């Protein structure tokens, strides 16, 4: 099939190369000329494991190209996939200006039946509004569909190429058929493709993210309780997750959830509810617990130092919102670092992939260390915010020698409290005695 993917970010690039890899002809389009120029030179603008090799293979095979010419890409395509950003507006709702601008361009360039698919995360009812925008400019036939994306950053290719389920929502039978054909090579069985109306598909995306975020905030709330009661949340987590009705995934307490999706989609869902006069009370609590959780490590450190943070130095390991990505959107580390700077502390930071992105936001307000141990030199404490593999088993004797005071804040519960205390560290994690 001939596809145009509009928006070449985390989702558009992964979807574009994924569809190319199963034999489609794909043009990935973006308004960002620098990004497209880099992709044309063979550079990959984001860090996502396996993405560069897959792009190279498909470009070489002639199935994947990059362009800034949206109109030409639309005219050549049978299926146009909208994968532009839908960032939060000031009131927390999703900003749909990029989606609608693409819809208008599609309307102006329709030259025969096409399926217009929204992969971006958009509020319920957006498919109807896209249809209306396209119709303003054309009498040509087209079908609009919602096809939310469920990939996780860091595992994006695996998630896209082997999805647990695919959701396609449309009121147009021809559009549903085209999308069923497009996705059939990627699913194990036909029931993995869930066909529905567009509104249900749009809501499914928010429901899935809100459910996952609810599990995390619930566990983070219980972690605070656990610590006050002298219980160990890690034991509770494992035992609770052993119930097959609950399952073990997304129960890990930590320094709060970040990323470009959960925080933004939760506030958008609250707005969607309010728009129709329904207060989503559970989702509100998920959001407020997460805001509190992102400040938890900072508060613990402040208490430990009796409020004396001025002039102290804190080492931070992990800046990305999760391992295996360079994405720092809504990262808990940024919340902690900003609190530390405001309190007059200095920060020495390390991350295997995300330091350039942090430098673009914080400039020289913190010290960036190419080596994880270098970050510890002369620091009063080490805070771990992202559980990159290389932080799991550091040389703690060396850590102790380098730190001015042996203080550890484990924001992902990856270290052994008993062993570290035996080594002479002051250790605190999330919800552990």
Ligand X SMILES: O=c1ccn([C@@H]2O[C@H](COP(=O)(O)OP(=O)(O)O[C@H]3O[C@H](CO)[C@@H](O)[C@H](O)[C@H]3O)[C@@H](O)[C@H]2O)c(=O)[nH]1
Ligand Y SMILES: NC(=O)c1ccc[n+]([C@@H]2O[C@H](COP(=O)([O-])OP(=O)(O)OC[C@H]3O[C@@H](n4cnc5c(N)ncnc54)[C@H](O)[C@@H]3O)[C@@H](O)[C@H]2O)c1
Residues forming the site for ligand Y (CB under 6 A): 6-12, 29-32, 35, 83-86, 98, 101-102, 120-121, 149, 151, 153, 260-261
Which residue from 257, 388, 425, 427 is in contact with ligand X, where contact means CB under 6 A? 257
Q: Is 429 in the site for ligand X (CB under 6 A)?
A: no
Cβ(143)–Cβ(179) below 8 Å: no
Q: Is 12 in the site for ligand X (CB under 6 A)?
A: no
Give me the sheet containing 64-67, strands edge to edge.
64-67, 25-29, 2-6, 79-82, 114-118, 142-146, 166-170, 193-196
E strand map for 219-308: none
Six-digit token string for 384 = 């771990």
Q: Is 151 in the site for ligand X (CB under 6 A)?
A: yes
Q: Find the catalytic residue in 116, 124, 261, 376.
A: 261
Q: One symbol per residue from 320 to 359: x for binding ligand X (CB under 6 A), - otherwise; what is it? A: -xx-------------------------------------
Which residue from 93, 209, 217, 407 is in contact with ligand X, where contact means CB under 6 A? 209
Q: Is 261 in the site for ligand X (CB under 6 A)?
A: yes
Residue 93 beta carbon to ligand X: minimum distance, rounded to whole angstroms: 16
The sign one gets for the Cα dihedral 70, 75, 77, 83 is positive
Q: Which does 85 bind (CB under 5 to 8 A by kind): ligand X, ligand Y, none?
A: ligand Y
Q: Is 153 in the site for ligand X (CB under 6 A)?
A: yes
Q: Which is nearer to ligand X, 152 or 174 (CB)?
A: 152
Phi/psi class of residue 320: alpha, beta or left (left: φ > 0; alpha: ψ in -120 to 50)? beta
Q: Which is nearer to ligand X, 27 or 151 (CB)?
A: 151
Cβ(291)–Cβ(301) below 8 Å: no
Q: Which does 157 bind (CB under 5 to 8 A by kind): ligand X, ligand Y, none?
A: none
Q: CA-based Rg of the chain, rounded to a whole angstrom? A: 23
Q: Which is nearer to ligand X, 254 or 417 (CB)?
A: 254
Q: Which of residues 114-133 bind ligand X (CB under 6 A)?
A: 121
261 is catalytic: yes
E strand map for 59-165: 64-67, 79-82, 114-118, 142-146
Helix (H, G, I), strand (E, B) or coil at 50: coil
Distance separating the N- and C-terminal Cα atoms of the chain = 57
Q: Is 16 in the site for ligand X (CB under 6 A)?
A: no
Q: Report, as residue numbers or ranges, the catalytic residues.
A: 261
């Amino acid at each position: 099939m001939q596809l145009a993917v509009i928006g070449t970010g985390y989702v558009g690039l992964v979807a574009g190369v994924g569809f190319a890899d199963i034999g489609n002809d794909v043009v990935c389009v973006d308004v960002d000329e620098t990004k497209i120029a880099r992709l044309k030179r063979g550079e990959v603008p984001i860090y996502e494991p396996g993405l560069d090799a897959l792009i190279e293979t498909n470009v070489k095979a002639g199935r994947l190209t990059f362009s800034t010419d949206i109109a030409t890409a639309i005219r050549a395509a049978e299926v146009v996939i909208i994968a532009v950003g839908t960032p939060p507006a000031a009131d927390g709702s999703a900003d749909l200006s990029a989606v609608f601008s693409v819809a208008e361009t599609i309307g102006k360039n329709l030259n025969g039946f096409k399926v217009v698919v929204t992969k971006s995360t958009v509020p319920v009812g957006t498919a109807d509004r896209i249809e209306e925008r396209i119709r303003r400019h054309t009498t040509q036939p087209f079908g609009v569909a919602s096809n939310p994306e469920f990939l996780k950053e860091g595992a994006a290719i695996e998630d896209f190429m082997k999805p647990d389920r695919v959701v396609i929502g449309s009121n147009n039978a021809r559009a549903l058929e085209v999308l069923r054909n497009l996705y059939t090579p990627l699913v194990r069985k036909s029931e993995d493709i869930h066909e529905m109306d567009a509104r249900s598909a749009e809501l499914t995306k928010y429901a899935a993210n809100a459910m996952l975020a609810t599990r995390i905030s619930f566990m983070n709330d219980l972690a605070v309780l656990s610590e006050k009661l002298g219980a160990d949340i890690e034991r509770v987590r494992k035992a609770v997750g052993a119930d097959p009705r609950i399952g073990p995934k997304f129960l890990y307490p930590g320094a709060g959830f970040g990323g470009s999706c959960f925080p933004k989609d939760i506030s958008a869902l609250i707005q969607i509810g309010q728009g129709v006069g329904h207060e989503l009370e559970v989702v509100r609590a998920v959001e407020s617990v997460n805001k509190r959780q992102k400040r938890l490590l900072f508060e613990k450190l402040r208490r430990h130092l009796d409020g004396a943070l001025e002039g102290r130095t804190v080492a931070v390991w992990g800046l990305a919102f999760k391992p295996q990505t360079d994405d720092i959107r809504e990262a808990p580390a940024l919340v902690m670092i900003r609190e530390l700077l405001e309190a007059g502390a200095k920060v020495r930071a390390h991350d295997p992939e995300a330091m350039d992105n942090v430098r673009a936001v914080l400039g020289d307000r913190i010290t960036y260390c190419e080596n994880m141990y270098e970050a510890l030199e002369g620091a009063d404490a080490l805070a771990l915010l992202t559980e990159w593999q290389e932080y799991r088993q550091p040389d703690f004797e060396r850590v102790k020698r380098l730190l001015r005071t042996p203080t550890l804040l484990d924001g992902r519960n990856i270290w052994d409290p008993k062993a570290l205390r035996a080594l002479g560290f002051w250790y605190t994690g999330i919800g552990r005695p």
